[in-house]
Amino acid sequence: MRRFAQLMELLALTPSRSRKIEAMAQYFRETPDPDRGIALAILTGALTFKNVKPAILRDVVLAEVDPHLFALSYDYVGDLGETIALIWPHHGGTEPLPSLSDLVELFNMTSKAELPRLIGSLLTRASINERWALVKFATGALRIGVNARLAKTALAEMSGIGLQEIEEVWNGISAPYTELFDWLEGRAERPDIDHTARFHPLMLSNPIDEEKDLATLDPAEWVAEWKWDGIRVQIIAARGKVSMFSRTGDDIAAAFPDIVDNVFGDGVLDGELLVGSDFEPLPFNDLQQRLNRKQASMKHLQTLPAFVRVYDLMFQGGTDIRSLPWRERRQRLEAWFADHPQTRLDLSPIVPFETWEQLAEIRRRGAAEHGHEGVMLKLRSSPYVPGRPKGLWYKWKRDPNVVDAILMYAQRGHGKRSSFYSDYTFGVWKGNEIVPIGKAYFGFTDEELRQLDKWVRNNTVASFGPVREVSKELVFEVAFDSAQQSGRHKSGIALRFPRINRIRWDKPAAEAATLEDMQVFLSAT
C-alpha cells in the first residue's frame, strides 16, 4: 500500500502528462502481481466496492471529529480523501497496511455493519498520504489527472507494445490483469479475445481548421454526414446476443433493452444513440433523462424510445472489415441494412455537396433549422483506424451560440482549484429578476481565475455553505452549443456545453440578455 500511496501522491502533484506516464510505467514494471493489476483497475475505474460509499467514510470520521470542524475543513479543502487524511486524529504510519489485493478481499468480505470498524482501524494504522490514498482506493474518486487511456499509455510505455494493440484486448480481460501483464512482458502470446466478447476502440475525428484545412482538401475526395446530437455507441451482435457500449467501453445494454432486444443480424456497428419516435431525434436534453441509469423505466421506454443512427460497419458478420476504405464499408453497411431490416437502427444519410462553400451553407441551415451540431467529413478512402488519426475524419461544428449573462453564484472548485471560487452560475433578466440559465467552470485563464476569485470575495452578499451569492453586476459572454427547454430550471432553459467566452468587465448588468432573447436559441433546436 505504501508504494501505491507514493504513486498516487506523485500523480496528483505533477501536472506533466509525460511524468505521470513515466511514474505509472515504473510502478507497473516494479510492482509484482496481483497488486499492480489491482492498481491498474483503480486507475482505470474498473474496480469498485459495493458497500464502501462516501457516506460511510464520513460517518467513520464524524465518530472521531467534531462535525462542524469537519464541515469547515471539507469546505475549504474540497476533496474528501484529503480532508480525512489531514483531520483524522490518530497518527499511525508505523504499522504496514495490507497489500492492495488483501484490501480488495477485506472490503469485499467484510459485512456492511463491520465496515466502519475496519475503515477506522485502517485509517489509524496509516500515514497521512496512505490515508488519502486509502480513501481514493475505496471510493474510486481519484481526481488526480489520470484516465483509463493515460494508464493504458503507461502500459505501452512499459512494454513497448502499441496502445492500439492494448486497447484491442483490454475489454476482454479483467482485474488483476495477470494475462495482460504476461503478454506485455513477453511471457505469453497476445490474449486471444473473441471479437464478440469485447469492445473495439472507436475511430475519432479532429476539429477542422476552416482556413488551413479546407484550402488544401479536394471536396471530391470527401463525404459529409450530419453530426448528430446524441452519444457515440458501439453495437456488437453475434450468435443471437447483442451488446452495446459507450465510447469509453462501458456496457450500457441493460439501460437500453428497447435497442438490444431489437437488433437483427450479426456485425459490429458504430453509430449515435438518440431518442425519439419514428427515427425523429429529440433534443439531447431528452436523451439525457435515459443516460447513467442501470435500467430503463417503463415510462421512459414508452415516452422516450431509443434508437441508433448507424454510420459505420466494423465487422461484417465475423469478418473484420476495418482495413477497407470508407466507400467499401459504406456499401457493405447499406447491403447489411437491406439484408437485415431493422426497427431500432437506421442508416445515417449522406449529405451531398460539391464545394466547401456549398457545404458551409448547408451546415449553417442545418444548425438554424434542425439544430444539427454540424457536419462530419470523412475521406472516402479512409480505413477505420482506432484512436484519433490525422487527416482522415474531421468534425466541422456549427458556430457556437453566444449570450451575455450575469454572474449570480460562485462555488469553490475541486483539486488544484479548491482554494478558488471557480464554478459560476449565471442568469438572464426575466422582468426585474434574474433567473439562472447555466453553470460553467472553464473558459478562462489562470490569471482570469485569480481576478474572478478576488471579485467574488469582494462582492459576496450572502453565503450558503460552499456557495457565495454575489452582487448582480458582473457580465459573462457565455458560449454554448444549444439551448433546450427544461422543467428542472426556473428559467425553463438548459444550455448544452456552456463555457465562459469572455469576461465583460466593461458591460453594465442592465444590458445583459433577457429570457425573451433566449427564445431565438430555443427555436433553432
Please check whether residue 393 is in contact with residue 204, taking contact to mean a CB–CB distance below 8 angstroms: yes
> Can you tell me which residue has the cell 489527472?
145
* 106-to-90, 122, 138, 511 alpha-carbon distances in Å: 21, 11, 11, 60
pLDDT of residue 93: 67
What is the residue-level pLDDT of the chain in tens, covering all 525 positions?
Answer: 889 999 998 988 887 889 999 999 999 999 999 999 999 999 988 888 888 888 888 899 999 989 998 888 887 777 788 888 888 888 776 678 899 999 999 998 998 899 999 999 999 988 888 888 888 888 877 777 788 888 999 999 999 998 878 887 887 888 899 999 999 999 999 998 777 767 888 999 998 988 888 989 999 999 999 999 899 999 999 988 999 998 877 788 989 999 999 999 999 999 999 999 999 999 887 888 898 787 888 999 999 999 999 999 999 988 999 999 999 999 999 999 999 999 999 999 999 999 999 999 999 898 878 878 899 999 999 999 988 899 999 999 887 788 999 999 998 876 566 678 889 999 999 988 999 998 988 778 888 888 999 999 999 998 887 789 999 999 999 998 878 887 777 788 888 889 998 898 888 898 899 998 898 787 555
pLDDT of residue 323: 95
**To 5 degrees, how large is the angle CA 223–CA 227–CA 232?**
110
Q: How many residues does the chain have?
A: 525
Architecture of domain 401-522 in CATH?
Beta Barrel (2.40)
Q: What is the residue-wise DSSP string for 326-347?
A: HHHHHHHHHHHHHHS--SSEEE
* Amino acid (one-letter) located at 161: I
> Can you tell me which residue has the cell 493489476?
37
pLDDT of residue 415: 59
The residues that bridge with 197 in the sheet, in sequence order, are none
pLDDT of residue 353: 97
Domain edges within the chain: 2-139, 206-397, 401-522
Q: Which three cell numbers stand for residue 254?
A: 441493460
**To 5 degrees, how large is the angle CA 213–CA 214–CA 215?**
90
Give the closest residue to 402 by CA, choosing from 272, 303, 501, 468.
501
* 107-to-4, 56, 76, 174, 264 alpha-carbon distances in Å: 17, 13, 29, 18, 42
Please check whether residue 484 is in contact with residue 284, taking contact to mean a CB–CB distance below 8 angstroms: yes
pLDDT of residue 145: 75
Taking the C-alpha atoms of residue 206 and residue 200, their distance in angstroms, rounded to an integer, is 19
The dihedrals phi and psi of 313, each to the nearest 5 degrees, come to -120, 120
Taking the C-alpha atoms of residue 467 and residue 49, their distance in angstroms, rounded to an integer, is 31
pLDDT of residue 39: 94
Taking the C-alpha atoms of residue 38 and residue 110, their distance in angstroms, rounded to an integer, is 18
**To 5 degrees, how large is the angle CA 501–CA 507–CA 513?**
70
* Amino acid (one-letter) located at 178: T
Architecture of domain 206-397 in CATH?
2-Layer Sandwich (3.30)
Q: Which three cell numbers stand for residue 247?
A: 465510447
pLDDT of residue 153: 92
* Amino acid (one-letter) located at 134: L
Q: What CATH number labels 2-139? A: 1.10.3260.10
The dihedrals phi and psi of 16, each to the nearest 5 degrees, come to -80, 120
* 91-to-30, 120, 125, 212, 436 alpha-carbon distances in Å: 29, 12, 7, 60, 45
